[in-house]
Amino acid sequence: MTSKRAERVGDVGADRREQAAFLFQSGDRVLQGRGICARVETPASGGAHRDSLFLHAVEEAFARARQAGIAEPVIMGAIPFDTTRPSCLYVPREHAWVARPAPVSSAPVAPAQVREVRNLPSADGFCLAVEEAIEAFRRGELSKAVLSRIQEIRLAEPADVETILANLARQNPTGYQFRIPVAEGGELVGVSPELLVRKQGARVHTNPLA
């Protein structure tokens, strides 16, 4: 894989490059970003090594941002659990740390009308997975299992990301909220109660709950 694949900004639509929004909320501060200066798709596998393709792609993205006049670029995005898959990282054209807004006391905005809900796997398939995991525990083949499922929801009209984020903030006002653009025009949004990494000066604290 070459850095040309690692950073392809030209194949992102011009409107999306300018309008892409980024958000990471932690504690009493919020990191906001807008627009795309550079994108890193190189898989993060092996990224701990200084000569890895991943770190080279990140360094190239920062270099491109500085050439574009961004004095202190940051990188925001997501890395998949399978680190051999493409990363989804961006250097925003502009970013700023702002104070976390006060909690919203008004009632949540009603969600869009739901047309269809599909669970992957189905209820029967999920129950079967639970049974198989229990049997694997009994045989001593597993010591931990995290079972989940995908829920696909089709709405009557396009979902409004700002409304989703506002409703999530009402449900979990102290959580760590995020918003990242992903492939094919989608957005990854959510709020987590868990702080996994904290940096204070030269000290890094980790809290690997999983």
The label of the residue with tokens 């999983």 reads 210
Number of domains the chain contains: 2
Euclidean distance between CA atoms 205 and 202, whole angstroms = 10
Query: Domain check: are 166 and 146 in the same one?
Result: no
The tally of CA atoms less than 13 A away on the side-chain side of residue 128 is: 6
In a 3-state reduction of DSSP, which class is residue 62? Answer: helix
Active-site option among 72, 116, 141, 144: 144
pLDDT for res 9: 47
Euclidean distance between CA atoms 115 and 152, whole angstroms = 11
Q: Which domain holds residue 166?
A: 3-103+159-206
pLDDT for res 15: 63
184 is catalytic: no
**Would residue 108 count as lying in a domain?**
no
Q: What is the pLDDT along the chain (210 residues), one digit of tens a residue?
A: 333 444 444 455 666 677 899 999 988 899 999 999 999 999 999 988 888 999 999 999 999 999 999 999 999 999 998 999 999 999 999 999 999 887 766 677 777 789 999 999 999 999 999 999 999 999 999 998 989 899 999 999 888 888 888 888 888 888 899 999 987 788 999 998 888 888 888 898 888 776
pLDDT tens digits for 5-34? 444 444 556 666 778 999 999 888 999 999
The DSSP secondary-structure symbol of 98 reads: E
Query: Domain check: are 53 and 26 in the same one?
Result: yes
pLDDT for res 1: 36
Query: Domain check: are 144 and 197 in the same one?
Result: no
CA neighbor of 152 nearest in space, from 201, 185, 199, 119: 119
Query: Domain check: are 9 and 53 in the same one?
Result: yes
Query: Domain check: are 48 and 133 in the same one?
Result: no
Query: Domain check: are 133 and 43 in the same one?
Result: no
DSSP per-residue string spanning 67-97:
HTT-SS---EEE--SSTTSPPEEEEEEEEEE
Query: Domain check: are 63 and 80 in the same one?
Result: yes
Active-site option among 94, 131, 132, 194: 194
Element (H, E) at 34: strand 29-40
Query: Domain check: are 124 and 166 in the same one?
Result: no
- Respond yes or no on whether the N-terminal peptide bond of residue 121 is cis (omega within 30° of 0): yes
Query: Domain check: are 7 and 41 in the same one?
Result: yes
**Would residue 67 count as lying in a domain?**
yes
pTM of this structure: 0.77
Dihedral sign from CA coordinates of 22, 91, 42, 47: negative
Query: Domain check: are 51 and 95 in the same one?
Result: yes
pLDDT tens digits for 34-56? 999 999 999 999 988 888 999 99
194 is catalytic: yes
**Would residue 32 count as lying in a domain?**
yes
